Amino acid sequence: MYKIFLCFRYLTRKGIVLFPVLAVWLCVMMLIIVNSIMTGFVNRVRDAGRSLMGDVVIQSDSMAGFPYYRQLQKRLALLPQVKASTPVISGYGLFNLPEFQVNTGVQVMGVEAGSESKVSSFGSSLFWQYKAPMQAVADLRGAGFPTTRTKLLAYAQKRLLAAAKIEATRQQHYANLKPIGNHAWFASIRQHWQVIAHEDYQQAVYKENRADRDLRMVQALPNKAFSSAAALRQAMVPKAPSFTPPPQAANRYLTGADEPKNGCVIGVDLGLYKRDRFGHYHRPPGVRFSPVIITMVPVTMKATLAQPQSRRFVIVDDSRTRVYAVDSKTVYIPFHVAQKMAFMQRQDLLAGGVRPGRCSEIQVLVRHDSSENNILAARKAIAHVVHQLELLHPQMEIAGIRVRTWDQVQAEYIRAVDNERNMITFLLGLMSLVVVIVIFLIFYMLVRDKTRDIGIIKAIGGSEEGVGVIFLLYGMLISSAGAILGLCTGVSFVRNDNWIHDHILWRIFGISIWNRKIYVFSKIPDQIDPHAVMWIVIFAILAGLVGALIPAILAARQDPVEALRYE
């Protein structure tokens, strides 16, 4: 058809169309990038929140918790929907690290390390008991399998030597960095180069420390062969996380009596570790196995404050859940200790009888898949069990127990972030209306420019509709071209955003948008939502049509004789 033919000719031979194509391209790319990063952020927060609490949470409105939790757990275990459950004590306290002169208010979580790690990501959030050995397994893959401890030792030593060499070179480079000129203009460049060189040095130090850690872990391995990476992982990663201080913790204390009996896990963002631009934590020596004093203020059943309870602990590990609000405020201690400190343990009453032990919440992991419907069905069954137990024990009813899914617990926060994402996308979408105006203006000019052509087309038999369709198709082609370019570049950008940020924006131009010292996530969170991307592309194409609509109508209505006379 002549309409398509003319559209393609105008598209390929009119330079001015590059402007609307560029406008659509940039808008589509910008919307895809913003939407993907916000979606990635929302989903990361959602996933992180979920991994903290399991699928369903049974919580009490009362700070004093609720009783008969063991009975409840036994009944939950009988439900076909429930895979595992774990009790948690939650309370506020003070954290005192005397050797480092740290005093801060914290949230104290009493957890059963073994069962907690089955329900939540507590186990995999621990550095020394999970992440470090996993990193070591990944680092030692280069040794090849099957392998032996001796071979692994040799390989780890080789890696450490290489890392030390790089570290020494970078340190020297950083120290010997010479000025590139005396002009003031060079000062900022020189400064940036120094920062880069220092960062490179920091990276080298981090890698050297990591290689050193790997070597120590290999040294601690039994002298046997490892057939695969899985076998090595099995030997390195403890089966279940624990609060028990490892034997090497004793070296930190003069006598066994000095060493606290219980271990604790601190949140990684509590302020004891430095975090570099690349999101790596630099753990200063001495923090691990340090003694800390944690003080909890128990709340009585009558909602009054009781005598504060203090205990000494050894820092055995640190936890990184990737939720800053949690990692910067939380200290984990053994459940039974927290229960005593919070006065929630089983008590014999003076008047006779027994007050059953209490917990703040029970976290439940649902069996089978984690689909929303499945979790909602499980929540319903759990709520029924709770209700039955409440009928049996009226004390439970007083505690005001609520059964909620992970989504319901963090609904308010997630909804806020979700709304933020939608609002930003909407606002950017509104800004993208500029595209419609750009297309309108360019098409208006184009119609004026092509007035005589319109007259010719009509003179040779082209209809009003035909002329209108030419400009509408033209608008659609332009917006489609821009949308496809925007789609390709936007998706490519999102897939490589971290690399672009670190290697181009930061290293070349000294621009840092995503500072990992500040943000929780070590990488820019990004997740392409195909549904959203599809709508962005559709709206962009429609924008082209809308922008071209009025000029197309004007063109269609153009009188052929007047058009032919147009100069």
Which positions lie near another protein, rule CB under 8 A? 1-2, 4-6, 9-10, 13-14, 452-453, 455-464, 466, 560-561, 564
Minimum distance, C-beta of residue 551 to another protein, in the bound complex (Å): 17
Minimum distance, C-beta of residue 561 to another protein, in the bound complex (Å): 5
CA distance 314 to 118: 24
CA distances from 488 to 32, 33, 106, 495, 497 (A): 10, 11, 47, 11, 14
Sign, CA dihedral 550-553-555-561, equals negative
Closer by beta carbon to another protein, 457 or else 487: 457
In a 3-state reduction of DSSP, which class is residue 43? helix
Closer by beta carbon to another protein, 461 or else 530: 461
**Running DSSP on this structure, what letter comes out for residue 271?**
S
Placement of tokens 């089978």 in the chain: 368
Minimum distance, C-beta of residue 553 to another protein, in the bound complex (Å): 16
* Cis upstream peptide for 87 (omega within 30°): no
Closer by beta carbon to another protein, 1 or else 416: 1
CA 379 remoteness from chain centre: 26
Closer by beta carbon to another protein, 535 or else 566: 566
Closer by beta carbon to another protein, 67 or else 462: 462
CA distance 259 to 168: 37
Minimum distance, C-beta of residue 5 to another protein, in the bound complex (Å): 5
Closer by beta carbon to another protein, 435 or else 467: 467
Minimum distance, C-beta of residue 279 to another protein, in the bound complex (Å): 54
Placement of tokens 């099957």 in the chain: 146
* Cβ-contact 157, 261 below 8 angstroms: no
Instruction: Give the residue from 261, 255, 315, 317 showing the smallest Cα distance to 95.
Output: 315
CA distance 305 to 104: 20
Minimum distance, C-beta of residue 549 to another protein, in the bound complex (Å): 21
Closer by beta carbon to another protein, 3 or else 170: 3
Minimum distance, C-beta of residue 174 to another protein, in the bound complex (Å): 60
CA distance 335 to 362: 12
Sign, CA dihedral 496-499-501-505, equals negative
- Please, what is the end-to-end C-alpha distance for the chain in angstroms? 28
Closer by beta carbon to another protein, 6 or else 439: 6
Closer by beta carbon to another protein, 47 or else 464: 464
Cα angle 55, 57, 58; round to 5:
150
Minimum distance, C-beta of residue 483 to another protein, in the bound complex (Å): 23
Neighbours of 361 (CB within 10 A): 23
Closer by beta carbon to another protein, 3 or else 329: 3
CA neighbours closer than 13 Å in the CB half-sphere of residue 453:
16
Closer by beta carbon to another protein, 9 or else 517: 9
Q: Whats the size of the chain, residue-wise?
A: 567
Minimum distance, C-beta of residue 475 to another protein, in the bound complex (Å): 17
Closer by beta carbon to another protein, 169 or else 463: 463
Minimum distance, C-beta of residue 512 to another protein, in the bound complex (Å): 47
CA distance 567 to 565: 6
Placement of tokens 């506020």 in the chain: 92
* Cis upstream peptide for 179 (omega within 30°): no
Closer by beta carbon to another protein, 238 or else 466: 466
Minimum distance, C-beta of residue 7 to another protein, in the bound complex (Å): 10
Indicate the pairing of strand 354-355 with strand 347-348. antiparallel
Neighbours of 61 (CB within 10 A): 11
Instruction: Give the residue from 499, 527, 500, 501 showing the smallest Cα distance to 514.
Output: 501
Instruction: Give the residue from 498, 109, 473, 503 showing the smallest Cα distance to 296.
Output: 109
Minimum distance, C-beta of residue 462 to another protein, in the bound complex (Å): 5
Minimum distance, C-beta of residue 445 to another protein, in the bound complex (Å): 16
- Residues with Cβ within 8 Å of 344's Cβ and at least 6 positions away in sequence, in order, are 64, 65, 89, 298, 338, 357, 358, 359, 360
Closer by beta carbon to another protein, 250 or else 456: 456
Minimum distance, C-beta of residue 563 to another protein, in the bound complex (Å): 10
In a 3-state reduction of DSSP, which class is residue 269? coil
